[in-house]
Amino acid sequence: MYELPDVLVLAQQMNNELKGKTIKEAEFNEKGYYNLPKGEFEAALTGKTIESVTGKGKWVYVKLKPDMYLQFGEHTGNVLYYAGEDTVHDTFTLRIDFTDDTALTIRNYGMSFIRVVKEEELGTFEYPGRLGVSPLDEHFTFEVFNTILEESSGKMIKAVLLDQSKIAGIGNGYFQEIMFKAKIHPKRKAGELGKDERKALYTAVKEVLTEAFQRGGKDDIYDLYNNKGGYTKILSAHSLGTPCPYCRTPIEKLNILGSTTYLCPSCQK
């Protein structure tokens, strides 16, 4: 699953490769969630020029001149770029061919969506809706974070950090790393955290996501050139029962808010 660092890596690569390219034709095979019928979807893309590619939260936004966006993310499986001599994979949700004989394919899985929308439509869909502050944005200060915690004092930390309308871009994968780094139990409620714990959590959010971005995203996510990211999570299914790297206590798992969360029961009391 794409989370903020993975999206930012992909968007940066796409912007470098695709900015200024004109779409010669598009082929959409109608798998996944989409907002237009096949013919209209393809026609909406054909002839458009890519102005820029940006990322926010778990989503990639491809701006098409003059006022349209191609929007996808989170559960997207693979987004791959092909130079003129490359063979394009025949399994895709959307294939885009450019006038310079390069191409792009997007493959969606499960509950993922892909949309072509007018600029004014962004944020109007129920999912993902309007996104909150990006935790890697300069506007994400400790004061902003503390206010979010105060407003959600009765909720578990997991519910707060994964609420995309408040903080956009954290999913279960990086959430576990953040909680482990901050040494806070994931079932704690926001209102229970003292000032030092809140500062530790804020610092962990910034440091984990920054490191992941600098390393090219998670090592189970592929970038635009089909290369894996370099960030290896400490906590995952593979770490269950293994010694904590700090205190040697076996790693455990809990089901919290419908998904598995791994933790060290000693470091994260």
Looking at the domain assignment, is residue 163 inside a domain? yes
Question: Does residue 43 belong to any structural domain of this protein?
Answer: yes
- The residues near 176 (Cβ < 8 Å, ≥ 6 apart) are 186, 233, 235, 236, 261, 262, 263
The pLDDT score that the predictor gives to residue 31 is 64
For residues 167 and 145, give the distance between their C-alpha atoms in angstroms, rounded to a whole number.
9
The last residue of a domain, from among 88, 121, 154: 121
**Domain total in the chain:** 2
Unique residue bearing structure tokens 């996808």: 72
Same domain membership, residue 225 and residue 115: no
Do residues 207 and 177 lie in contact, with contact meaning Cβ atoms separated by under 8 Å? no
CA distance 82 to 23: 14
Pick from 121, 154, 172: which residue ends a domain? 121
Are 97 and 163 part of one and the same domain? no
Is 130 part of any domain?
Answer: no
Assign residue 151 the CATH number of its domain: 1.10.8.50
What whole-number distance in Å separates Cα of residue 82 and Cα of residue 103? 5
Has residue 151 been placed in a domain?
yes
The dihedral built from the CA positions of residue 204, 148, 53 and 86, taken in this order, carries a sign that is positive
Query: Is position 195 within any domain?
Result: yes
Q: Edge-to-edge strands of the sheet including 50-56?
A: 33-34, 113-118, 68-73, 59-64, 50-56
Q: Does residue 113 sit in the same domain as residue 149? A: no
Asked whether residue 96 falls in the same domain as residue 146, the answer is: no
25 within a domain of the structure (yes/no): yes
Along the 269 residues of the chain, how does pLDDT read in single tens digits? 899 999 999 999 999 999 999 999 999 886 666 788 889 999 999 999 999 999 999 999 999 998 899 999 887 778 999 997 888 988 898 999 999 999 999 988 766 788 999 988 887 887 788 899 999 999 999 999 999 999 999 999 999 999 999 999 999 999 999 999 999 999 999 999 999 999 999 999 999 999 999 999 999 999 999 999 999 999 999 999 999 999 999 999 999 988 899 999 999 99
Domain around 188: 142-263
In DSSP terms, 94 is beta-bridged to: 28, 106
Which residue, of 87, 121, 155, is where some domain finishes?
121
Answer yes or no: do 164 and 252 share one domain. Answer: yes
Rounded Cα gap, residues 103 and 131, in angstroms? 30
Specify if 137 maps to a domain: no
Using alpha carbons, select from 242, 151, 149 the residue that is nearest to residue 188: 149
d(CA 227, CA 222): 5
Torsion of the alpha carbons at 140, 141, 147 and 149, rounded to the nearest 10:
70
CATH code where residue 61 lies: 3.20.190.10
Q: Are residues 156 and 102 in the same domain?
A: no
Cβ–Cβ under 8 Å, residues 209 and 5: yes
Say what the pTM is.
0.93
pLDDT for 32 equals 62
